[in-house]
Structure 1
Amino acid sequence: MRQRQKIDRDRRIVEAAARLFREFGFEGVKIETIAEQAGVSVGTIYNYYESKGDVLIAVVSLEVNEVISAGESVLTRPPARAADAVDALFDIYLRHSLHYLSKEMWRAAMSMSILHPESRLGRHYGQLDEKLCQQVCRLLAKLKRQGSIGGAIDVEVTGRILFNTMNMSFMNFVKEDAMDVETVIEAVRRQSETMMTLGG
Protein backbone atom coordinates (compact mmCIF):
# COMPACT_ATOMS: atom_id res chain seq x y z
CA MET A 1 0.00 0.00 0.00
CA ARG A 2 2.77 2.43 0.98
CA GLN A 3 4.68 1.69 -2.24
CA ARG A 4 1.55 2.29 -4.34
CA GLN A 5 1.00 5.62 -2.58
CA LYS A 6 4.60 6.59 -3.28
CA ILE A 7 4.24 5.73 -6.96
CA ASP A 8 0.95 7.64 -7.14
CA ARG A 9 2.49 10.75 -5.55
CA ASP A 10 5.44 10.59 -7.92
CA ARG A 11 3.15 10.29 -10.93
CA ARG A 12 1.07 13.26 -9.73
CA ILE A 13 4.21 15.36 -9.33
CA VAL A 14 5.52 14.51 -12.79
CA GLU A 15 2.18 15.03 -14.54
CA ALA A 16 1.59 18.35 -12.76
CA ALA A 17 5.08 19.50 -13.68
CA ALA A 18 4.56 18.51 -17.32
CA ARG A 19 1.34 20.54 -17.54
CA LEU A 20 2.86 23.57 -15.82
CA PHE A 21 6.13 23.52 -17.77
CA ARG A 22 4.20 23.36 -21.05
CA GLU A 23 1.94 26.25 -20.09
CA PHE A 24 4.38 28.60 -18.38
CA GLY A 25 7.81 27.39 -19.49
CA PHE A 26 10.41 25.64 -17.37
CA GLU A 27 11.85 28.86 -15.94
CA GLY A 28 8.40 30.27 -15.19
CA VAL A 29 7.34 27.48 -12.82
CA LYS A 30 8.20 27.22 -9.12
CA ILE A 31 8.44 24.03 -7.11
CA GLU A 32 5.71 25.43 -4.83
CA THR A 33 3.31 25.61 -7.77
CA ILE A 34 4.08 22.03 -8.80
CA ALA A 35 3.45 20.89 -5.22
CA GLU A 36 0.12 22.70 -5.10
CA GLN A 37 -1.02 21.25 -8.42
CA ALA A 38 0.10 17.75 -7.43
CA GLY A 39 -1.57 17.96 -4.02
CA VAL A 40 1.66 17.33 -2.11
CA SER A 41 3.98 19.39 0.07
CA VAL A 42 7.15 21.04 -1.18
CA GLY A 43 9.06 18.76 1.18
CA THR A 44 7.53 15.72 -0.52
CA ILE A 45 8.84 16.88 -3.90
CA TYR A 46 12.33 17.30 -2.43
CA ASN A 47 12.07 13.78 -1.00
CA TYR A 48 11.76 12.56 -4.59
CA TYR A 49 13.89 15.10 -6.50
CA GLU A 50 16.93 17.23 -5.72
CA SER A 51 15.92 20.13 -7.99
CA LYS A 52 13.38 21.39 -10.49
CA GLY A 53 15.75 20.17 -13.19
CA ASP A 54 15.44 16.63 -11.83
CA VAL A 55 11.65 16.96 -12.07
CA LEU A 56 12.02 17.96 -15.73
CA ILE A 57 14.22 14.93 -16.42
CA ALA A 58 11.52 12.79 -14.77
CA VAL A 59 9.08 14.15 -17.37
CA VAL A 60 11.61 13.30 -20.09
CA SER A 61 11.93 9.82 -18.58
CA LEU A 62 8.14 9.36 -18.68
CA GLU A 63 8.18 10.36 -22.36
CA VAL A 64 11.10 8.13 -23.29
CA ASN A 65 9.82 5.08 -21.42
CA GLU A 66 6.44 5.35 -23.16
CA VAL A 67 8.24 5.70 -26.50
CA ILE A 68 10.35 2.61 -25.82
CA SER A 69 7.25 0.65 -24.82
CA ALA A 70 5.49 1.68 -28.03
CA GLY A 71 8.62 0.88 -30.04
CA GLU A 72 8.56 -2.73 -28.85
CA SER A 73 5.59 -3.30 -31.18
CA VAL A 74 7.93 -2.69 -34.13
CA LEU A 75 10.48 -5.14 -32.73
CA THR A 76 7.80 -7.77 -32.21
CA ARG A 77 6.68 -7.70 -35.86
CA PRO A 78 9.03 -5.52 -37.91
CA PRO A 79 8.27 -4.74 -41.55
CA ALA A 80 10.15 -7.10 -43.89
CA ARG A 81 12.09 -4.26 -45.52
CA ALA A 82 14.80 -3.01 -43.18
CA ALA A 83 14.45 0.69 -44.06
CA ASP A 84 10.69 0.49 -43.40
CA ALA A 85 11.32 -1.10 -40.00
CA VAL A 86 13.76 1.65 -38.99
CA ASP A 87 11.31 4.28 -40.28
CA ALA A 88 8.49 2.77 -38.23
CA LEU A 89 10.58 2.90 -35.05
CA PHE A 90 11.79 6.46 -35.61
CA ASP A 91 8.27 7.55 -36.53
CA ILE A 92 7.15 6.47 -33.03
CA TYR A 93 10.10 8.27 -31.42
CA LEU A 94 9.44 11.55 -33.21
CA ARG A 95 5.64 11.63 -33.14
CA HIS A 96 5.53 10.94 -29.40
CA SER A 97 8.29 13.42 -28.55
CA LEU A 98 5.94 16.34 -27.84
CA HIS A 99 3.29 14.41 -25.94
CA TYR A 100 4.46 15.54 -22.50
CA LEU A 101 7.19 18.01 -23.45
CA SER A 102 7.24 21.21 -25.47
CA LYS A 103 10.23 22.20 -27.56
CA GLU A 104 11.19 24.69 -24.83
CA MET A 105 11.18 21.88 -22.26
CA TRP A 106 13.38 19.70 -24.47
CA ARG A 107 15.82 22.59 -24.92
CA ALA A 108 16.01 23.09 -21.16
CA ALA A 109 16.61 19.38 -20.53
CA MET A 110 19.24 19.12 -23.26
CA SER A 111 21.11 22.21 -22.10
CA MET A 112 21.16 21.05 -18.48
CA SER A 113 22.48 17.63 -19.50
CA ILE A 114 25.25 19.28 -21.56
CA LEU A 115 26.18 21.85 -18.91
CA HIS A 116 26.22 19.28 -16.09
CA PRO A 117 27.02 15.90 -17.69
CA GLU A 118 28.29 14.37 -14.42
CA SER A 119 25.29 15.44 -12.36
CA ARG A 120 22.53 12.97 -11.52
CA LEU A 121 20.37 14.81 -14.04
CA GLY A 122 23.03 14.68 -16.77
CA ARG A 123 23.75 11.00 -16.24
CA HIS A 124 20.07 10.10 -16.29
CA TYR A 125 19.51 11.97 -19.55
CA GLY A 126 22.43 10.06 -21.08
CA GLN A 127 20.99 6.76 -19.83
CA LEU A 128 17.66 7.52 -21.53
CA ASP A 129 19.43 8.18 -24.83
CA GLU A 130 21.30 4.90 -24.41
CA LYS A 131 18.05 2.97 -23.87
CA LEU A 132 16.69 4.36 -27.14
CA CYS A 133 19.92 3.57 -28.96
CA GLN A 134 19.91 0.00 -27.66
CA GLN A 135 16.38 -0.47 -28.95
CA VAL A 136 17.53 0.56 -32.44
CA CYS A 137 20.43 -1.92 -32.19
CA ARG A 138 18.05 -4.69 -31.08
CA LEU A 139 15.80 -3.97 -34.06
CA LEU A 140 18.75 -4.28 -36.44
CA ALA A 141 19.83 -7.52 -34.75
CA LYS A 142 16.37 -8.97 -35.34
CA LEU A 143 16.35 -7.80 -38.96
CA LYS A 144 19.75 -9.44 -39.43
CA ARG A 145 18.49 -12.75 -38.00
CA GLN A 146 15.51 -12.56 -40.39
CA GLY A 147 17.83 -11.94 -43.34
CA SER A 148 16.41 -8.45 -43.98
CA ILE A 149 19.88 -6.92 -43.77
CA GLY A 150 23.26 -8.27 -44.84
CA GLY A 151 25.16 -10.63 -42.60
CA ALA A 152 28.29 -8.45 -42.76
CA ILE A 153 26.59 -5.47 -41.11
CA ASP A 154 27.72 -4.67 -37.57
CA VAL A 155 24.34 -4.02 -35.94
CA GLU A 156 25.83 -2.23 -32.93
CA VAL A 157 27.83 0.27 -35.00
CA THR A 158 25.08 0.76 -37.59
CA GLY A 159 22.40 1.12 -34.90
CA ARG A 160 24.42 3.81 -33.13
CA ILE A 161 25.02 5.71 -36.37
CA LEU A 162 21.31 5.57 -37.23
CA PHE A 163 20.28 6.67 -33.74
CA ASN A 164 22.84 9.48 -33.57
CA THR A 165 21.78 10.77 -37.00
CA MET A 166 18.12 10.71 -35.98
CA ASN A 167 18.96 12.33 -32.65
CA MET A 168 20.80 15.21 -34.36
CA SER A 169 17.77 15.81 -36.60
CA PHE A 170 15.60 15.79 -33.48
CA MET A 171 17.84 18.39 -31.85
CA ASN A 172 17.48 20.61 -34.93
CA PHE A 173 13.71 20.12 -34.76
CA VAL A 174 13.67 21.16 -31.11
CA LYS A 175 15.78 24.26 -31.82
CA GLU A 176 13.53 25.46 -34.66
CA ASP A 177 10.12 26.54 -33.37
CA ALA A 178 8.76 26.76 -36.92
CA MET A 179 9.72 23.20 -37.89
CA ASP A 180 6.84 20.72 -37.66
CA VAL A 181 7.07 17.04 -36.90
CA GLU A 182 6.27 15.95 -40.47
CA THR A 183 9.31 17.87 -41.73
CA VAL A 184 11.71 16.20 -39.32
CA ILE A 185 10.16 12.76 -39.95
CA GLU A 186 10.71 13.15 -43.70
CA ALA A 187 14.31 14.28 -43.16
CA VAL A 188 15.02 11.32 -40.88
CA ARG A 189 13.34 8.95 -43.35
CA ARG A 190 15.62 10.11 -46.18
CA GLN A 191 18.71 9.79 -44.00
CA SER A 192 17.80 6.32 -42.76
CA GLU A 193 16.96 5.12 -46.27
CA THR A 194 20.38 6.24 -47.48
CA MET A 195 22.13 4.62 -44.53
CA MET A 196 20.36 1.30 -45.00
CA THR A 197 21.09 1.34 -48.74
CA LEU A 198 24.78 1.95 -48.08
CA GLY A 199 24.75 -0.87 -45.57
CA GLY A 200 23.52 -3.28 -48.20
Structure 2
Amino acid sequence: MTGLRQRQKIDRDRRIVEAAARLFREFGFEGVKIETIAEQAGVSVGTIYNYYESKGDVLIAVVSLEVNEVISAGESVLARPPARAADAVDALFDIYLRHSLYYLSKEMWRAAMSMSILHPDSPLGRHYGHLDEKLCQQVCRLLAKLRQEGSIDATVDTEITGRILFNTMNMSFMTFVKDDGMDVETVIGAVRRQSATMVVLGNG
Protein backbone atom coordinates (compact mmCIF):
# COMPACT_ATOMS: atom_id res chain seq x y z
CA MET A 1 0.00 0.00 0.00
CA THR A 2 2.88 2.35 0.83
CA GLY A 3 4.38 1.62 -2.58
CA LEU A 4 1.12 2.52 -4.31
CA ARG A 5 0.85 5.82 -2.44
CA GLN A 6 4.44 6.65 -3.34
CA ARG A 7 3.82 5.91 -7.01
CA GLN A 8 0.69 8.08 -6.94
CA LYS A 9 2.68 10.90 -5.33
CA ILE A 10 5.39 10.65 -7.97
CA ASP A 11 2.76 10.60 -10.74
CA ARG A 12 1.03 13.72 -9.37
CA ASP A 13 4.35 15.53 -9.09
CA ARG A 14 5.27 14.62 -12.66
CA ARG A 15 1.89 15.86 -13.92
CA ILE A 16 2.34 19.15 -12.09
CA VAL A 17 5.83 19.72 -13.48
CA GLU A 18 4.92 18.76 -17.05
CA ALA A 19 1.77 20.92 -16.99
CA ALA A 20 3.80 23.85 -15.65
CA ALA A 21 6.44 23.39 -18.34
CA ARG A 22 3.82 23.51 -21.11
CA LEU A 23 2.06 26.53 -19.65
CA PHE A 24 5.24 28.50 -18.89
CA ARG A 25 6.46 27.95 -22.45
CA GLU A 26 3.15 29.05 -23.97
CA PHE A 27 2.24 31.99 -21.73
CA GLY A 28 5.49 32.91 -19.97
CA PHE A 29 6.34 32.39 -16.33
CA GLU A 30 4.65 35.58 -15.14
CA GLY A 31 1.53 34.89 -17.20
CA VAL A 32 0.66 31.59 -15.53
CA LYS A 33 -1.22 31.15 -12.25
CA ILE A 34 -0.96 28.23 -9.87
CA GLU A 35 -4.69 27.62 -10.39
CA THR A 36 -4.12 27.06 -14.11
CA ILE A 37 -1.28 24.62 -13.46
CA ALA A 38 -3.51 22.71 -11.04
CA GLU A 39 -6.32 22.51 -13.59
CA GLN A 40 -4.02 21.29 -16.34
CA ALA A 41 -2.38 18.74 -14.04
CA GLY A 42 -5.72 17.44 -12.76
CA VAL A 43 -4.94 18.22 -9.12
CA SER A 44 -6.13 20.74 -6.55
CA VAL A 45 -4.30 23.98 -5.79
CA GLY A 46 -3.75 22.62 -2.28
CA THR A 47 -1.98 19.59 -3.72
CA ILE A 48 0.49 21.84 -5.54
CA TYR A 49 1.21 23.72 -2.32
CA ASN A 50 1.78 20.39 -0.60
CA TYR A 51 4.65 19.86 -3.05
CA TYR A 52 5.90 23.42 -3.62
CA GLU A 53 5.97 26.64 -1.64
CA SER A 54 5.65 28.95 -4.65
CA LYS A 55 5.34 29.14 -8.41
CA GLY A 56 9.09 29.78 -8.49
CA ASP A 57 9.66 26.42 -6.84
CA VAL A 58 7.57 24.79 -9.57
CA LEU A 59 9.79 26.46 -12.19
CA ILE A 60 12.92 25.16 -10.47
CA ALA A 61 11.33 21.69 -10.53
CA VAL A 62 11.10 22.03 -14.32
CA VAL A 63 14.78 23.03 -14.40
CA SER A 64 15.54 19.99 -12.24
CA LEU A 65 13.69 17.72 -14.68
CA GLU A 66 15.75 19.21 -17.52
CA VAL A 67 19.08 18.92 -15.73
CA ASN A 68 18.52 15.37 -14.49
CA GLU A 69 17.67 14.19 -18.01
CA VAL A 70 20.76 15.96 -19.34
CA ILE A 71 22.96 14.32 -16.72
CA SER A 72 21.49 10.91 -17.52
CA ALA A 73 22.20 11.44 -21.23
CA GLY A 74 25.72 12.66 -20.41
CA GLU A 75 26.53 9.40 -18.67
CA SER A 76 26.69 7.77 -22.11
CA VAL A 77 29.71 9.96 -22.90
CA LEU A 78 31.38 9.01 -19.61
CA ALA A 79 30.74 5.33 -20.28
CA ARG A 80 32.54 5.41 -23.65
CA PRO A 81 34.27 8.76 -24.15
CA PRO A 82 35.93 9.58 -27.49
CA ALA A 83 39.67 8.93 -27.42
CA ARG A 84 40.53 12.60 -27.98
CA ALA A 85 39.81 14.68 -24.88
CA ALA A 86 38.53 17.71 -26.79
CA ASP A 87 36.00 15.53 -28.62
CA ALA A 88 34.81 14.02 -25.34
CA VAL A 89 34.25 17.44 -23.75
CA ASP A 90 32.50 18.67 -26.92
CA ALA A 91 30.22 15.61 -26.87
CA LEU A 92 29.21 16.27 -23.25
CA PHE A 93 28.62 19.99 -23.74
CA ASP A 94 26.67 19.34 -26.95
CA ILE A 95 24.23 17.25 -24.89
CA TYR A 96 23.91 20.00 -22.28
CA LEU A 97 23.22 22.70 -24.84
CA ARG A 98 21.03 20.81 -27.31
CA HIS A 99 18.74 19.55 -24.54
CA SER A 100 18.53 22.91 -22.75
CA LEU A 101 15.34 24.07 -24.47
CA TYR A 102 13.48 20.75 -24.37
CA TYR A 103 11.34 21.66 -21.36
CA LEU A 104 12.30 25.30 -20.89
CA SER A 105 12.16 28.38 -23.08
CA LYS A 106 14.79 31.09 -22.86
CA GLU A 107 12.30 33.22 -20.91
CA MET A 108 11.90 30.42 -18.37
CA TRP A 109 15.67 30.09 -17.99
CA ARG A 110 15.96 33.85 -17.45
CA ALA A 111 13.29 33.73 -14.75
CA ALA A 112 14.97 30.80 -12.99
CA MET A 113 18.42 32.39 -13.16
CA SER A 114 17.05 35.71 -11.90
CA MET A 115 15.37 34.10 -8.90
CA SER A 116 18.49 32.11 -8.03
CA ILE A 117 20.63 35.27 -8.17
CA LEU A 118 18.20 37.43 -6.20
CA HIS A 119 17.59 34.79 -3.53
CA PRO A 120 20.74 32.63 -3.40
CA ASP A 121 20.15 31.49 0.18
CA SER A 122 16.51 30.53 -0.32
CA PRO A 123 15.53 26.87 -0.85
CA LEU A 124 14.92 27.80 -4.50
CA GLY A 125 18.32 29.44 -4.89
CA ARG A 126 20.14 26.58 -3.17
CA HIS A 127 18.36 24.01 -5.35
CA TYR A 128 19.39 25.85 -8.52
CA GLY A 129 22.98 25.97 -7.28
CA HIS A 130 22.85 22.25 -6.48
CA LEU A 131 21.78 21.48 -10.05
CA ASP A 132 24.69 23.52 -11.43
CA GLU A 133 27.03 21.63 -9.13
CA LYS A 134 25.75 18.26 -10.38
CA LEU A 135 26.55 19.28 -13.97
CA CYS A 136 29.98 20.58 -12.95
CA GLN A 137 30.79 17.34 -11.15
CA GLN A 138 29.91 15.36 -14.26
CA VAL A 139 32.43 17.39 -16.26
CA CYS A 140 35.05 16.75 -13.56
CA ARG A 141 34.29 13.03 -13.60
CA LEU A 142 34.70 12.95 -17.38
CA LEU A 143 38.13 14.56 -17.13
CA ALA A 144 39.12 12.14 -14.38
CA LYS A 145 38.23 9.21 -16.63
CA LEU A 146 40.11 10.75 -19.56
CA ARG A 147 43.17 11.16 -17.33
CA GLN A 148 42.85 7.55 -16.21
CA GLU A 149 42.70 6.42 -19.84
CA GLY A 150 45.73 8.53 -20.79
CA SER A 151 43.87 11.04 -22.97
CA ILE A 152 45.10 13.93 -20.84
CA ASP A 153 48.29 14.39 -18.86
CA ALA A 154 48.43 12.55 -15.53
CA THR A 155 49.45 15.75 -13.72
CA VAL A 156 46.30 17.64 -14.67
CA ASP A 157 44.03 18.61 -11.76
CA THR A 158 40.74 17.38 -13.18
CA GLU A 159 38.66 19.11 -10.49
CA ILE A 160 40.04 22.58 -11.19
CA THR A 161 40.11 22.08 -14.97
CA GLY A 162 36.59 20.67 -14.99
CA ARG A 163 35.27 23.65 -13.06
CA ILE A 164 36.98 26.10 -15.41
CA LEU A 165 35.52 24.33 -18.44
CA PHE A 166 32.04 24.14 -16.93
CA ASN A 167 32.02 27.77 -15.79
CA THR A 168 33.19 28.94 -19.22
CA MET A 169 30.49 26.89 -20.91
CA ASN A 170 27.91 28.17 -18.42
CA MET A 171 28.78 31.81 -19.16
CA SER A 172 28.22 31.14 -22.87
CA PHE A 173 24.92 29.46 -22.03
CA MET A 174 23.83 32.55 -20.07
CA THR A 175 24.65 34.72 -23.09
CA PHE A 176 22.62 32.35 -25.27
CA VAL A 177 19.65 32.53 -22.88
CA LYS A 178 19.74 36.34 -22.78
CA ASP A 179 19.82 36.68 -26.58
CA ASP A 180 16.56 35.56 -28.19
CA GLY A 181 18.20 35.81 -31.62
CA MET A 182 21.02 33.36 -30.88
CA ASP A 183 20.43 29.77 -31.96
CA VAL A 184 21.83 26.65 -30.36
CA GLU A 185 24.35 25.95 -33.15
CA THR A 186 25.92 29.36 -32.57
CA VAL A 187 26.44 28.80 -28.87
CA ILE A 188 27.73 25.26 -29.46
CA GLY A 189 30.32 26.67 -31.88
CA ALA A 190 31.38 29.31 -29.35
CA VAL A 191 31.71 26.74 -26.56
CA ARG A 192 33.79 24.42 -28.76
CA ARG A 193 36.19 27.22 -29.61
CA GLN A 194 36.54 28.15 -25.95
CA SER A 195 37.14 24.56 -24.86
CA ALA A 196 39.75 24.09 -27.58
CA THR A 197 41.85 26.89 -26.06
CA MET A 198 42.46 24.76 -22.99
CA VAL A 199 45.93 23.32 -23.59
CA VAL A 200 45.10 20.16 -21.64
CA LEU A 201 42.54 19.16 -24.27
CA GLY A 202 45.12 19.10 -27.01
CA ASN A 203 47.14 16.33 -25.38
CA GLY A 204 44.86 13.46 -26.35
Smaller-chain TM-score range? Answer: over 0.9
Identity of aligned residues (%): 88
- The 2-side partners of 1:93 and 1:124 are apart by 18
Normalised to the residue count of structure 1, the TM-score between the two structures is: 0.99
Q: Deviations over 1:96-152 (max 9, x none)?
A: 000000000000000000000000000000000000000000000000000000111
Aligned to 1:6: 9
**Number of equivalenced pairs:** 200
Q: 1:199 Cα deviation (Å)?
A: 7.1
Q: Distance in 2 between matches of 1:138 and 1:161?
A: 13
Distance 2:94 2:176 in 1: 14
Matched residue, 1:95? 98
2:51 pairs, out of 15, 39, 48, with 48
Cα distance in 2, alignment partners of residues 6 and 20 from structure 1: 21
Given that 2:86 and 2:201 are in contact with CA atoms closer than 8 Å, whether structure 1 keeps it comes out as: no
Moved runs in structure 1, 4+ residues, more than 6 A?
none
1:108-147 aligned within 5 A: 108-147=111-150
Q: How does 1:171-190 map to 2 (within 5 A)?
A: 171-190=174-193
Q: Write the mapping of 1:139-158 to structure 2, written as runs, cut at 5 A.
A: 139-158=142-161
C-alpha displacement of 1:7: 0.1
Paired with 1:57 and 1:10, the residues of 2 have a C-alpha distance of 13
SS in 1 for 2:38: helix
* Structure 1 residue runs without a partner (length 5+): none
Distance in 2, matches of 1:198 and 1:58, equals 34
RMSD: 0.9
Q: Alpha-carbon deviations, 1:145-169, whole Å to 9, x = none?
A: 0000011110000000000000000
Tell me, in whole angstroms, the C-alpha distance in 1 between the residues paired with 2:102 and 2:45: 26
Unaligned runs of 5+ in 2: none
TM-score with structure 2 length normalisation? 0.97
Contact map agreement 1:150 1:199 (CA 8 A) in 2: no
Paired letter, 2:72: S
